[in-house]
A and B are shown apart, each in its own frame.
Chain A
Amino acid sequence: MKKVFKKSALAIASLGLAASVLAACNGDSEEVGNAEEFKGKITIWDGPRWPDKDDNKFHWLESKIKEYEEAHEGVEVELVQVPWAEMGDKLGVAIAGKSWPDIAPVDISGSAVSIDHIEQGVVEPLDAFIDKDEKKDFYENALDAYTYDDKLYGIPNSITLHSMLLNLDLFEEAGVTPPENGKWTYDEFLEAAKKLTFDRDGDGKTDVYGFSTYVMPGYYESWPFFYKNGGSPLNEDMTEFTFDSPEAVQAIQDLADLKLTEKVAPETHGGVDVGGTFQAWANEEQRTVAMQPWATWAIGAAQGAYPTNFAVAEYPTGDSETASTIGGVGGWIMFHQEEVNKKAAVADFMKFISTAEEQHHMAQNYGIFPARISASEMDPFKDNPEMTRAMEMSDQVVMLPRHPEWKKIDEAIQSQLQLVFNGEKTAEEAMADAKKVVDELLK
């Protein structure tokens, strides 16, 4: 089976190579080079993924590198292992010093690489290496996430989204029935949260809370709640701040009030302790919160390192009557190249690790959804009902605004949200203050 995968992967990579040459023949003005003529080193950065039996979380890429090097004499691929938490900072320093790797696993949303970098030529466009037919195999939103000014600046390899994770043991203990098919309204969610908040040992103190999450720049677990009445942070053409609309303000206040007035969320609700929040839901010794929203990696964690009896549910619906979730797209980008042949070789390797087989393999092991349609059709989650349920939520995905100043806008909003959640400001006051900063950034 492995040999079949290996051969097919190499065949697809070769097809990709041929396609890139064809693209050049078809009159594409950009010189694409010849990957076969390149001899030298390609550097790739990656973060830890799923472990093998020796707890090596880089084994997948290491094996792919070995395979590629064996098939391409004279090409060396160097893997630089970077913790995910440090990826953005380290790339920032590398970009500032023009010592970037050839390939990195980041998006172009601004977390590590921004639109500004694209405009400055730091990231290479890949259209010359991926033809139209090949693009058809990717989900449109996945390609959109790597497209700027009608050019493709990366190969998407995964899609993630956020969903509600429900601890079924606590639901049973409190006598609460989980939402049917994972669909519910905000009122039903609030009712469940109230019942799931209880004093287990009768000492007068609450031992289990219905819900909690955290609020900090760069994290969007709580944001789908803010969309429930039809609100969004910016208007469609990104010229106006709209989280101060009555719909958004009410939704923000509702989520903060889970702690402030309803008392169904702990004091830490809306704080910045990501690890502590997850432990409160997943750690067997704690389990003090019944419901939390998380990205899909948490499903894998709850099935592996933190075995939990849980179910996946949608975010509750509000006045808009449609459930929303925030999505993200992962993939590989190529940094600026001086040599055309190396550029072709780097693109060739990127495609080699982004085949349908590899995305299917990654989906099964890493808790992400494939960005390729053909990989999804291989049904990677046929034995994983929780991931299947989460995948069904793909059509609810709302992408964050792709504004060059998004990081600053995000911080202006999230720092004000923190003040709503700790009761220092109302949602209306906080969003009015956020508007002053964001409007300046949108000018």
Chain B
Amino acid sequence: MTQIPMGAVPKKETEKLKVLKKPNNNIFLQMKKNYSAYLFLLPKLILFTLFIAVPVVWAFVLSFQEYKVFGSEFAGFDNYIKVFESEAFRIALKNTLLFTVVTVPFGVISALVIASLIYALGKVSQSLFRSAFYLPTVTSMVIIAMVWRWMYNYEFGLFNYVLGWFGIEQINWLGQSTSALWALIIMQCLIPFGVGIIMYLASMGSISHSLYEAARIDGASSFKQWLHITIPLLKPTTLYLVLLSTIGSFQVFTQIIMMTGGGPGSATETLVHLIYKTGFRDFEFGLAAAQSVVLFVIILIFSIIQFRVLRHDE
């Protein structure tokens, strides 16, 4: 078979078809050719297989079983039926959705605004603010949750202290069903989205200055340049960050277990906290696995929708 080098101009229609075909579809030959690249990938691939792929597949298998220490039994779709009939799951899903719907847009938009403000600064100031805003990302959520628990403390907390200045009565932030979930949402919103800020800054650096120059010549204000050049060109980054933070928000756990335990009542119960309780408190690993699979599907659906809405149009 005559092969036409990539990029060559085909003379006939038949030759065009040949160009579109891969030169060689033999995966083993390709691997042999690029063996050094595969060698570098191998350690990560092994770790991924052992600690991600195998547990994910195992969780899927487990979701169809009634788990027992010595020999689980096949349970068909029983666990999935229990998930969809469960009032606790519905409440957890509702709370998680509210948490995600508020915190994700707030996190991404605030990261964009903060990154835009930092980008306009000089190099030294930029480094300083970049480090400051990234700090919460490298701080354990356990520590952050403990600090926020103190800030929400009814007697000595910062928030009630500030409210006192304005003569407003103290609020039992984490003790009332009406305020507990919102207290966690506010906390999440006010923790800077460090990864988002860093990624937006990096992406802003790659936007060609000539676009801004042309806009300036046309008389566009700074805000219009930001709105019509910066934001559209940051769309791929925005998509990535929305996906990343949506997945993170659906998996919210540490704040819940550290600050409210899902209460009062079920006011702050979330999906991952429910999965944790089902698995490690009730030892119903089959049901917990089914809940995990349902969560996986929900995240997948959200990711597909976001990808379709926000994907970068060529």
Binding site for B on A (CB under 8 A): 88-89, 92-93, 95-96, 98, 114, 116-117, 120-122, 216-217, 266-268, 270-273, 276, 288, 407-408, 411, 415-416, 418-419, 422, 424
Whole-angstrom distance from the CB of A267 to the nearest CB of chain B?
Answer: 5
8 contacts between A and B (CB under 8 A): A89-B280, A92-B280, A266-B155, A271-B172, A276-B153, A408-B282, A422-B176, A424-B264
Binding site for A on B (CB under 8 A): 67-70, 149, 153-155, 170, 172, 174-177, 260-266, 277, 279-283, 285
B263:A216 contact, CB within 8 angstroms: yes
Given contacts A276-B153, A418-B265, 10 further A-B contacts (CB under 8 A): A116-B283, A117-B69, A120-B68, A120-B70, A268-B154, A272-B263, A418-B263, A422-B175, A422-B177, A424-B177
B260:A121 contact, CB within 8 angstroms: no
* Top-7 shortest CB links A-B: A418-B264, A92-B280, A419-B265, A120-B69, A271-B175, A267-B154, A415-B265
CA distance A267 to B282 in the complex (A): 32
Partner of B280, one of A93, A116, A122, A288: A93
Q: Which residues of B contact A216 (CB under 8 A)?
A: 261, 263
The number of A-B residue pairs with CB atoms under 8 Å apart is: 79
Q: Which residues of B contact A92 (CB under 8 A)?
A: 279-281, 283
Specify the chain A residue showing the minimal Cβ separation from B278.
A408
B285:A424 contact, CB within 8 angstroms: no
Specify the chain B residue showing the minimal Cβ separation from A271.
B175
A217:B261 contact, CB within 8 angstroms: yes
Whole-angstrom distance from the CB of B163 to the nearest CB of chain A?
Answer: 13
A415:B263 contact, CB within 8 angstroms: yes
A268:B175 contact, CB within 8 angstroms: yes
CA distance A93 to B283 in the complex (A): 9
Partner of A419, one of B177, B282, B283: B177
Whole-angstrom distance from the CB of B169 to the nearest CB of chain A?
Answer: 10
Specify the chain B residue showing the minimal Cβ separation from A216.
B261
A424:B261 contact, CB within 8 angstroms: no
Whole-angstrom distance from the CB of A152 to the nearest CB of chain B?
Answer: 21
Whole-angstrom distance from the CB of A408 to the nearest CB of chain B?
Answer: 6
Q: Which residues of B contact A98 (CB under 8 A)?
A: 69
Q: Which residues of B contact A419 (CB under 8 A)?
A: 177, 264-265
B285:A267 contact, CB within 8 angstroms: no
Whole-angstrom distance from the CB of B294 to the nearest CB of chain A?
Answer: 20
CA distance A276 to B170 in the complex (A): 17
CA distance A330 to B56 in the complex (A): 37
Q: Which residues of A contact B69 (CB under 8 A)?
A: 95-96, 98, 117, 120-122
Q: Which residues of A contact B277 (CB under 8 A)?
A: 411
Q: Which residues of B contact A117 (CB under 8 A)?
A: 69, 283
B70:A415 contact, CB within 8 angstroms: no
Q: Which residues of A contact B149 (CB under 8 A)?
A: 273
CA distance A117 to B282 in the complex (A): 11
Whole-angstrom distance from the CB of A75 to the nearest CB of chain B?
Answer: 27
CA distance A116 to B67 in the complex (A): 11
CA distance A259 to B170 in the complex (A): 15
A424:B176 contact, CB within 8 angstroms: yes
Q: Which residues of B contact A93 (CB under 8 A)?
A: 280
CA distance A276 to B176 in the complex (A): 17
CA distance A424 to B68 in the complex (A): 39
B283:A114 contact, CB within 8 angstroms: yes
CA distance A216 to B175 in the complex (A): 12
CA distance A96 to B289 in the complex (A): 13
Whole-angstrom distance from the CB of B147 to the nearest CB of chain A?
Answer: 14
A272:B261 contact, CB within 8 angstroms: yes
CA distance A331 to B172 in the complex (A): 39
Specify the chain A residue showing the minimal Cβ separation from B171.
A267
CA distance A95 to B262 in the complex (A): 25
Q: Which residues of A contact B264 (CB under 8 A)?
A: 272, 415, 418-419, 422, 424
CA distance A7 to B191 in the complex (A): 60
Q: Which residues of B contact A272 (CB under 8 A)?
A: 174-175, 260-261, 263-264
CA distance A219 to B88 in the complex (A): 21
Whole-angstrom distance from the CB of A120 to the nearest CB of chain B?
Answer: 5
Contact A415 to B266, CB < 8 A, known contacts A95-B283, A267-B170: yes
B265:A424 contact, CB within 8 angstroms: yes
Partner of A121, one of B70, B153, B175: B70
Whole-angstrom distance from the CB of A365 to the nearest CB of chain B?
Answer: 30
